[in-house]
Amino acid sequence: MGRNAIEDMLNYADVDSALDWHLRGNHFPPIHEDFYPAAKLAIELVNKRQGETPIELPNGVVCTANYVVEGLHLDSFLDWDEEVAEHD
pLDDT band at 88 (very low <50, low <70, confident <90, very high): very low
- Give a yes or no: residue 82 inside a domain: no
Q: What is the pTM of this model?
A: 0.83
Domain that holds residue 44: 3-77
Q: Per-residue pLDDT tens for 20-39? A: 999 999 899 999 999 999 99
- Give a yes or no: residue 9 inside a domain: yes
The identity of residue 1, as a single letter, is: M
Please, are residues 75 and 69 in contact by the beta-carbon 8 Å criterion?
Answer: yes
- Give a yes or no: residue 52 inside a domain: yes
- Give a yes or no: residue 53 inside a domain: yes
Residue 62 has pLDDT above 80, yes or no: yes
- Give a yes or no: residue 88 inside a domain: no
Q: Per-residue pLDDT tens for 66-79? A: 999 999 999 999 98
How many Å separate Cα 88 from the centre of its chain? 17
Longest dimension (CA), the chain: 35
- What is the C-alpha to C-alpha distance for residues 25 and 37, in angstroms, rounded to an integer? 17
- What is the C-alpha to C-alpha distance for residues 36 and 43, in angstroms, rounded to an integer? 11
Q: Looking at residue 30, what DSSP letter applies?
A: P
